[in-house]
Structure 1
Amino acid sequence: MSTRKKSQSSRKKRPAVRLGAIDTNAVIQRLRQLHELGGDPELEKFPAADELYLVLQHTARTATLLRQPTNVEANVVGEAALLRVKLWQHLREQADAGQLKAISHARDAGVPWHDFNEALGVRTKQGAYQKAQRLKAEQVRQPHERRSPEVARRHEKRRLAEERAERTRVLSQEQRFPLALRIGRMLVRYQPDFRVSEMAEYWLSEIVDTIDDRYTALERANFTTFIEQFVREIHQFAAECHHEPACSEEARQALQLATEFTYQARPGTRPELQA
């Protein structure tokens, strides 16, 4: 392998940098100030701050008419041009996201890929699909990733896997909710008798605040998780401080039930109880 090829192969990938959210009103206000300083002969026609595209058209049309005032240190003409570059970059990023959303809406409405050819400036349905994937990759890629259909498919695969995992979690935890609710009421009843850390107190307060407000599958699943998190935190605190987590027999029995509920299907996952 030649030195040149080695250099190219070892070269680090440049990070993907996006402008992201900016205060366009502030940028446009500064741009208007610069055009006023530069003697824009059409300043009275300068568009409002909420008319970004018209602002860009106006500033492009009058850019060559600006002059550097002798009593101003700032590079008026140069800074105005640089702010235009920034606004165009912002508009491009917004356009990519907006176009991708429009493509998604059209696909959801049953529009076939070959109907996108003219709108996306391509010749084939494969080209339309690939361009849509590149737009998607631009929205989801990490700094070290390229803007490519492969990146978009990888992120989509990961997103679908996360959604499947979340649906499985919700289904499993919701099935345990009736027992979790009964245990939760016991924990609430004996709340003053628990020795809790700040985190254990937080999870116990979540149980108290939501115990009578669980209507959806996600809410019921999350309530079950609150019980489990409280159990882990209170036992960890007890192990660290070498004290009993409950100071009454009733509270101890309630915590015992909650502990068995948390670990009954997870043998060997109670290291904090072995301290």
Structure 2
Amino acid sequence: MARTARKSAAPTKPLLKPPVRIGNLDTAALVGELRQLHEDAEDESVGQMPADEELFGALLHLEANAGALKGEEARRKAAIARVKLWEYLREQADVHQAKAVEDARHANAEWAQLVPALAVRTVSAAYNKATRLRAAALTDDSRGVDSPVRRTPEAVLDVERRAALREAEARRVEQEAAHRHRLLAPVAQRLIEHRAGLDDGGEVTDWLDEIATVLPDCNTPIRVVSLQTYVAAAVRELRKIERTTARPAASTPDAQLAYEAAAELIDG
């Protein structure tokens, strides 16, 4: 009986099983351990070994002089450590190559110029490879957790598109907040200027006193938040008066306009 062909995963679908990765690694410390193995083996070439921080050069040196180690256990330990370090380099290469491509594009490099650098044959292949490389530095947090991005151009572009939308929404919210903050002081000032038509001798009066205290020096984020809190509280008490007395909260037209402006700002 013919086997049912397995369906390929959607190119934008998040990876269900994160790939196993080396992740963060103290490479200098590990190279230092390998250096010690060669020193213990009295390897005469260890003096020419690059510094522990020069990972690529150190790995090439260790590979070329692996035969200097004495004993199977030392050779096995050193070889496994080299495997781990090369895997770490492989993981880092994608991230840094993607950044190099990004820098090249920002410097107006054409995709055709990147074809040989990316070891591909066509412009479309260069674009697709560069897009896949970006997956190494991306995670998909749309589900509330950081999920590795599938290494397909479709998945990378989808994640970047959704990230751009989230950033645009965040900027919009920040701009609206900044706009409200710019309006806050003038609105609060109008409440104080027309407080004679708002004072009730109770809660409203208390909140207007707080506004009058903070308003002259409202030049720090904490004071802006305090002012907004006091204006909102005054509006809340004025609305309570309207509900409980069935009459306007303000006793003059100017005070009513000041109250309405404050309510609109708080509701917005």
TM-score, normalised to structure 1's length? Answer: 0.62
Indicate the SS of the match to 1:118: coil
Deviation at 1:133, TM superposition (A): 0.6
- In structure 2, the partner of 1:212 is 219
Residue 80 to residue 224, structure 1, CA distance change in 2 (3 Å)? same
Q: 1:41 deviation in Å?
A: 3.7
Q: Give the equivalent residue in structure 1 for 2:155.
A: 151
- Per-residue CA deviation, residues 153-211 of structure 1 (Å, 9 max, x unaligned), is 01110121012112211221111113445789998x849xxxxxxxxxxxxxxx9xx95
Instruction: Tell me whether 19-28 or 132-141 shows the greater mean CA deviation.
Output: 19-28
Match of 1:112 in 2: 110
The corresponding residue for 2:199 is none
How many residues of Structure 1 are paired with residues of Structure 2 in the alignment?
211
Looking at structure 2, the residues matched to 53 and 161 of structure 1 have their Cα atoms a distance apart, in angstroms, of 39
Matched, 1:125 2:123: yes
Cα deviations by residue, 1:217-249 (Å, 9 ceiling, x for unpaired): xx9xxx669957xx89xx9xxxxxxxxxxxxxx
Unaligned stretches of 5+ residues in structure 2 = 10-14, 141-146, 193-206, 237-258
Q: What's 1:63 paired with? A: 66
Do the aligned residues in 1 keep the contact of 2:112 with 2:122 (CA within 8 Å)? yes
Q: CA RMSD in A?
A: 4.1
Q: Helix, strand or coil for the counterpart of 1:57?
A: helix
Matched with 2:136 is 138
Q: Taking structure 1 as reference, are residues 183 and 92 closer, same or farther at Cα in structure 2, changes over 3 Å only?
A: farther
Q: Which residue of the partner structure matches residue 75 of structure 2?
A: 77
Structure 1: gaps (5+ residues): 70-74, 192-206, 236-255, 266-275
Question: Equivalents in 2 of 1:25, 1:104: separation in Å?
Answer: 28
Aligned positions of 1:163-174 closer than 5 A: 163-174=167-178
CA–CA separation in structure 2 for the residues paired with 1:225 and 1:86 = 55
- TM-score of the superposition, structure 2-length normalised? 0.63
Q: Counterparts of 1:35-50 in structure 2 under 5 Å? A: 35-50=38-53
Residue identity opposite 1:80 in structure 2? A
The equivalent residue for 2:247 is none
Task: Pick one of 19, 23, 35 that aligns with 1:16.
Answer: 19
Rounded to whole Å, the distance in 1 between the matches of 2:181 and 2:75 is: 66
Amino acid at match of 1:103: V
C-alpha change, 1:8 and 1:42, in structure 2 (3 Å) is: same
SS in 2 for 1:20: coil
> CA 1:226–1:62 in structure 2 vs 1: closer, same or farther (change >3 Å)?
farther
